[in-house]
A and B are shown apart, each in its own frame.
Chain A
């Protein structure tokens, strides 16, 4: 198993550009989530999903869109990048859907370091 994979590892964007951060998992996990990590802030939840076709907002959803068309993939879209979105982005997955994903360990990808100029 590859676990949770994220692409790209590094990305530089100009203000106003759009892009999609890819996340995939091969563990058949129902729950997937996106976090951003900023110095002194820890990880903050952006969006999450408890299964294909079901997504919801986390703590800091503004400026980001997600969709979940398959169990395996959970892409994060930045529609119009801003310097405030410069961060390290982590995707995570775990077993558990509506019954309570937080029972289970979240498996994290290696992260994407995004810089917006």
Chain B
């Protein structure tokens, strides 16, 4: 069963506008949550992660994400996007009560930035 859902396959945003990418997970316990970014032709790079504590986490490149237990969500936000933010973004879950080696990634959201 899919543990991680990214409802938006593709998002187009104007440069300077705000961006929010959605991520929902289905898991009994609180998982460890991650957001990764993949630029064209590249491997993935970690943007931020959540384990516990403050539900608003800050990451690199001006991104932040908020964990909402009641909604089983971990949405990624950026107040003002730059053309260089055009990439594919992946939410990922580490199932902490499952085998500790197993990550699951969402299907990804492709972000296009227009001038």
Contacts and interface: CB of A to CB of B under 8 A. Distances in A.
Interface of A: 4, 31, 33, 35, 40-45, 48, 50, 56, 58-59, 90, 92, 98, 100-103, 105-106, 108-111
Given A42-B106, A90-B43, A90-B44, A50 B32 contact: no
Interface residues of B, number: 26
B101 interface: yes
Given A42-B107, A42-B108, A43-B90, A106 B46 contact: yes
Interface stretch (B11-19, B68-76, B79-87, B92-100): B92-100
Contacts of B9: 40
Contact of B101 (A90, A101, A105): A101
A59 B43 contact: no
Given A31-B101, A35-B105, A90-B44, 9 more contacts: A43-B92, A56-B101, A59-B102, A98-B100, A102-B96, A103-B32, A106-B103, A108-B45, A111-B43
Contacts of B42: 110-111
Contact of A101 (B4, B100, B107): B100
Contact of A33 (B32, B100, B101): B101
Interface string B1-23: 00010100100000000000000
B104 interface: yes
A102 B46 contact: no
A102 B43 contact: no
